[in-house]
Chain A
Amino acid sequence: PLDHSHHMGIYHMDNSTMPPHHHMTTSHSHGGGDMMMMMPMTFYFDFKNVELLFSSLVINTPGEMAGAFVAVFLLAMFYEGLKIAREGLLRKSQVSIRYNSMPVPGPNGTILMETHKTVGQQMLSFPHLLQTVLHIIQVVISYFLMLIFMTYNGYLCIAVAAGAGTGYFLFSWKKAVVVDITEHCH
């Protein structure tokens, strides 16, 4: 049980650690006193001319920033909820336990029966396909959140962190209570 949850834990944690993706277009000129950087590399608080993920999403007013804050907050909350939902689905679909018994040569020419117990899903089963689809959605959302944090905009970063915390609080509440101590691993 510990091994399996460890595997789940690493898989779970890999989606919390965003690998950096490099699509930056920063021009940094040294001579002539021109210090224009297209992409900020330090945290700032501003709502003017903030590009958000797509070229058509540019924030220019406090109202638009407030709307973006709420949207990012909800996205981060949804991400946490999706993580918890997938864990629950995985646990529920792993009721099938297959036993394989194989004859194995033992000492003194005897034959022992070795029994392997496999807990898992079949590849073409609906739960596994559903998990795959949800996985893709989770990966895409996690990269979006990373890119949002990469804007270095203080308001949006706070929205990500607050949304993650609120989502974790709301969705983990019930799940944490019914979990089995021996197999719980984040």
Chain B
Amino acid sequence: MAMHFIFSDEAVLLFDFWSVHSPAGMALSVLVILLMAVLYEGIKVGKVKLLHKTLESLPTATSQQLILETDQDSAGSSSPPVNRTHLRWFLCHFGQSLVHVIQVVIGYFVMLAVMSYNTWIFLGVVLGSALGYYLAYPLLSMA
């Protein structure tokens, strides 16, 4: 295996069945990797937006109560409204953790694709990251 970047239409990416041996196959693979990089950048922003959305959807009184309760580590003896909020918070956090796992896996997949040392793939990753960042980051500063 070459230890430097090469231009080639042949590559095996990530899985045994993903073997490329034609220009068309390479173009398609570059597109898939590009979309993966876009998705990775999007997920990074998506996690923050998800957190904002949940924090906003909680009425401020209960969110402050939530903060107070976790600080004092009080368990049980919660009034029903706070219990419902806790459950919603738990579900949101569990969802966030799943999104985090997906982010970790996609990040590693993109890293392994770059490891193929195929220049087309690498350019696809760079372009995908740029495009993903360009599209996703303005959404961060939106309320």
Measured CB to CB, the residues of A under 8 A from B are 2, 13, 16-20, 22, 24, 26, 28, 39, 41-43, 146, 149-150, 152, 157, 160-162, 164-166, 168-169, 172-174, 176-178, 181, 184-186
Is A174 within 8 A of B16, CB to CB? no
Given contacts A2-B141, A172-B96, A178-B71, contact A186 B115 (CB under 8 A): no
Chain B interface secondary structure, helix, strand, loop or mixed?
helix
Is A28 within 8 A of B1, CB to CB? yes
* Bound complex: CA A43 to CA B16 (Å): 7
Interface size grouping (class) on chain B: 35 or more
Given contacts A28-B1, A43-B14, contact A149 B47 (CB under 8 A): no
Is B108 within 8 A of A157, CB to CB? yes
Using CB atoms, name the residue of chain A closest to B93.
Answer: A173
Using CB atoms, name the residue of chain B closest to A180.
Answer: B55
Cβ-neighbour of B104 out of A150, A165, A176 (below 8 A):
A165
Using CB atoms, name the residue of chain B closest to A22.
Answer: B3
* Bound complex: CA A174 to CA B97 (Å): 13
Is A18 within 8 A of B48, CB to CB? no
Task: Provide the residues of chain A in CB contact with B25, threshold 8 Å.
Answer: none
Task: Provide the residues of chain A in CB contact with B74, threshold 8 Å.
Answer: none
